[in-house]
Amino acid sequence: MTTARGILARLRDGDRLTEAELFWFAEGLASGEVTDSQAGAFAMAVCTRGLGPEGRVMLTTAMRESGDVLKWDLDGPVLDKHSTGGVGDSVSLLLAPALAACGAYVPMISGRGLGHTGGTLDKLEAIPGYRTQVSVEDLQEIVADIGCAIVGASADIAPADRRLYAVRDVTGTVESIDLITASILSKKLAAGLEALVLDVKVGTGAFMAAPADALALAEALVKTAQGAGCMTSALVTDMNQPLGRTAGNAVEVMEVMEALTGGDPASDLMRVTVALGGEVLALGGLAADAADGEGRIRRALDSGQAAEVFGEMVAELGGPVDFVERWRDRLPAAKVMVDIHPGDAGTVAAIDARALGEAVVQLGGGRLRQEDRVDPAVGLSDIARIGQKVDPKTPLLRIHAASEEAARAVAAAVRNAFTLGSGEVEAPPLIHERIG
Ligand code: URA
């Protein structure tokens, strides 16, 4: 007879678990048959012993199958992208409607901010009325009608992961490549995707600061997703500075709306969006190759088609019907704005992106405890980039805060996040590697 105790003993001894055992355990997590202490022991044993590449695929599939798995009958491919998390990274908001404008269907199940990184759902909730929690039926209907919907995971999507993630959070077992891979992919693949592109971040603002760790995660994610039957590739992209010029919730939505309505096509935010979009359009058969896909995404962004889809998605999910025309009036603004200047003139040589993400959390734009309420209006904007010349009259960034006191509390930390050098400084490469 299969028991949690038996499975845990085999894991403890370094044995490889069978598919039947991992399915039994995932089902037990979802049903409550597996207790919290058994879930904690499982997470710790996986952290220390590892599952191996085949075990990763089996755990991912088992957790995906622990809840609803969406089925589609559409006239285009079902595609998505996932980022491992960064600062000032609002690619999802640009890419989902751009892919839809290119003929794809994008059921983008997204998350909230984690640690110092921003969350797509928190950003969208800065739009008054936007509902991030919808039923699986509503999600399918909106995606079929409009082409994309960005929403949170319902309780019926990968419930085994919901349970295991909460236990990992309090047992020091978040940082396991096996568990991160199964957690991310079980939720993504439950959306019934045909192809997926992953944006694995590396640098000071990423969970994986070291290139070797980011590469290992990218390889595990790609091989596991492919092993679970989804065409997948990954780009390892730079997070040694915020991706965009803003970090926060409403401020990032403002940057997205500027990009969708005629923003700078050469910005790093646009370049990463286009590169990821090109990859997944090619995987999904909507482009001859990644370069052709990039051209299609650029045209969807430049022509205003992506903006139109974004507006339809916002309206369908309860936001203002005139958001694309009136976003400046619709988004909340912070009470206090303070520019932060450097003490000396120089060139921005390095940025501690994690420190900037932590400042956003401290301002109230993220959570210190799960139950904290996020202030959508606070954050950072006009963030200087590596290689940019600054001086005591040219700000490093602008703080958007709820009070003078809150702005003062983060001022030193955000100033110290910038290292100035002299002469010309080259920015790090934006796309480090492609895996797949
Ligand atoms: N995001 C997830 O969904 N799961 C993890 O384990 C880490 C990041």
Residue nearest to atom 1 of ligand 1 (CA): 184
Q: Does residue 184 line the site of ligand 1, with CB under 6 A?
A: yes
Cα within 13 Å of Cα(238), Cβ side: 19
Check: CB of residue 235 under 8 Å from CB of residue 275: yes
Tokens of 114: 């984690």
pLDDT value at position 405? 98
C-alpha–C-alpha distance, residues 390 and 395, integer Å:
7
C-alpha–C-alpha distance, residues 135 and 132, integer Å:
10
State mean pLDDT over 342-356. 97
Q: Does residue 132 line the site of ligand 1, with CB under 6 A?
A: no
Q: Distance of CA 3 to CAs 24, 25, 36, 46, 112, Å? A: 9, 9, 15, 17, 34
- Looking at the DSSP bridge assignments, the partners of residue 17 are none
Ligand 1 centroid distance, CA of 128 (Å)? 27
**Domain coordinates of the chain in residue numbers?**
4-64, 79-156+172-326, 336-421
Closest CA to 187 of 153, 231, 150: 153
- How does pLDDT run across 195-213, given as a tens digit for each residue? 999 999 999 999 899 999 9
Q: Does residue 183 line the site of ligand 1, with CB under 6 A?
A: yes
Ligand 1 centroid distance, CA of 199 (Å)? 13
Ligand 1 atom index nearest CA of 174: 6
- How does pLDDT run across 83-118, given as a tens digit for each residue? 999 999 999 999 999 999 999 999 999 988 888 998
- State in words which class domain 336-421 has: alpha beta
Topology alike, domains 79-156+172-326 and 336-421: no
Ligand 1 centroid distance, CA of 183 (Å)? 5
- How does pLDDT run across 366-388, given as a tens digit for each residue? 988 777 899 999 999 999 999 99
- How does pLDDT run across 282-330, given as a tens digit for each residue? 999 999 999 999 999 999 999 999 999 999 999 999 999 999 999 999 9
State mean pLDDT over 388-415. 97
Residues with catalytic roles: 80-83, 120, 168, 183, 187-188
Q: Does residue 220 line the site of ligand 1, with CB under 6 A?
A: no
CATH for 4-64 is 1.20.970.10
pLDDT value at position 434? 97
Q: Which of 184, 201, 207 to mutate to test the pocket of ligand 1 (most atoms within 8 A of CB)?
A: 184
Q: Is 161 helix (H, G, I), strand (E, B) or coil?
A: helix
* H-assigned helices in 317-418: 323-330, 353-360, 404-416
Ligand 1 atom index nearest CA of 84: 8
Q: Does residue 173 line the site of ligand 1, with CB under 6 A?
A: no
Residue nearest to atom 7 of ligand 1 (CA): 180
Q: Is 6 helix (H, G, I), strand (E, B) or coil?
A: helix
Q: What share of the chain in percent tops pLDDT 90?
A: 93
- How does pLDDT run across 48-62, given as a tens digit for each residue? 999 999 999 999 999
- How does pLDDT run across 254-275, given as a tens digit for each residue? 999 999 999 899 999 999 999 9
pLDDT value at position 91? 98
pLDDT value at position 11? 96
**Is the pLDDT confidence value at 147 over 90?**
yes
Q: Does residue 180 line the site of ligand 1, with CB under 6 A?
A: yes
**Is the pLDDT confidence value at 193 over 80?**
yes
> Whole-prediction pTM value?
0.95
Residue nearest to atom 2 of ligand 1 (CA): 184
Question: What Rg do the C-alpha atoms of the chain give, in angstroms?
Answer: 21
Q: Which of 110, 180, 217 to mutate to test the pocket of ligand 1 (most atoms within 8 A of CB)?
A: 180
Check: CB of residue 222 under 8 Å from CB of residue 231: no
Residue nearest to atom 5 of ligand 1 (CA): 180
Ligand 1 centroid distance, CA of 334 (Å)? 30
Ligand 1 centroid distance, CA of 116 (Å)? 14
Check: CB of residue 425 under 8 Å from CB of residue 349: yes
pLDDT value at position 206? 94
Give the number of other CB atoms < 10 A from CB of residue 347.
Answer: 17
* Mean predicted lDDT score pLDDT of the chain: 96
Name the architecture of domain 79-156+172-326: 3-Layer(aba) Sandwich (3.40)
